[in-house]
C-alpha cells in the first residue's frame, strides 16, 4: 500500500497524464520552440556579431494556443503545453527544469511569426508539474 506521500505523488502523475489527454481532446496543435543549438566562433567574434548562432526548431505538442490582439495590433499568444513533454526536452539539453528551458528559448514560431516569450508559469498538483502556461508576444 502507498504511504501518504506516495499516494500524493501518484495522484500528481495521474493528473499530468490526464492534462495531456485533455489537451489532445480539445484539438491541440504543435508549437515550435526556437532554441539556440550551439555557439559558433570565439567569444570575441560572438560579442562583435561576427559569428551567427545556430537554432533548433523543437516541436512541442500537444499544445493549446489562444491568440489575442492587443492594440495597436500586437499579437499575443497564450499557450498551454504538457509538462512531461517539455521536461523531456529540457533533460535532453541538460536544463534543470522545463520552466528554465522555455524561458531560455529564443521564442515561439507561430504562423511564420517569431514571438518572444514574456512569461512562463508551471502549474503543480501534488508536487508534480502537469502543464506549463506560456505567454508570447510580438
Query: For the chain, how far is it from start to end, CA to CA, in angstroms?
Result: 51
| Residue 125 to residue 132: CA distance in whole angstroms | 12
pLDDT band at 97 (very low <50, low <70, confident <90, very high): very high
- Residues whose CB falls within 8 Å of the CB of residue 62, separated by 6 or more in sequence, listed in order: 20, 23, 24, 28, 29, 30, 81, 82
Q: Does pLDDT of 13 surpass 60? A: yes
pTM of the model: 0.78
Q: Where are the domains of the chain?
A: 4-137
Residue whose cell numbers read 514571438: 115
Report the pLDDT averaged over residues 13-23: 73
Q: Cell numbers of 18, please?
A: 490526464
Amino acid at each position: 500500500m502507498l504511504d501518504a506521500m506516495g499516494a500524493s505523488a501518484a495522484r500528481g502523475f495521474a493528473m499530468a497524464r490526464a492534462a495531456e489527454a485533455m489537451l489532445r481532446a480539445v484539438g491541440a496543435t504543435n508549437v515550435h520552440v526556437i532554441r539556440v543549438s550551439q555557439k559558433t566562433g570565439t567569444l570575441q567574434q560572438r560579442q562583435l556579431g561576427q559569428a551567427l548562432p545556430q537554432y533548433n526548431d523543437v516541436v512541442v505538442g500537444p499544445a493549446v494556443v489562444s491568440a489575442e490582439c492587443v492594440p495597436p495590433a500586437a499579437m499575443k499568444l497564450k499557450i498551454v503545453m504538457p509538462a512531461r513533454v517539455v521536461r523531456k526536452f529540457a533533460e535532453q539539453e541538460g536544463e534543470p527544469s522545463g520552466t528554465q528551458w522555455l524561458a531560455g528559448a529564443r521564442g515561439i514560431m507561430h504562423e511564420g511569426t517569431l514571438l518572444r516569450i514574456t512569461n512562463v508559469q508551471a502549474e503543480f498538483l501534488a508536487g508534480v508539474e502537469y502543464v506549463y502556461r506560456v505567454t508570447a508576444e510580438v
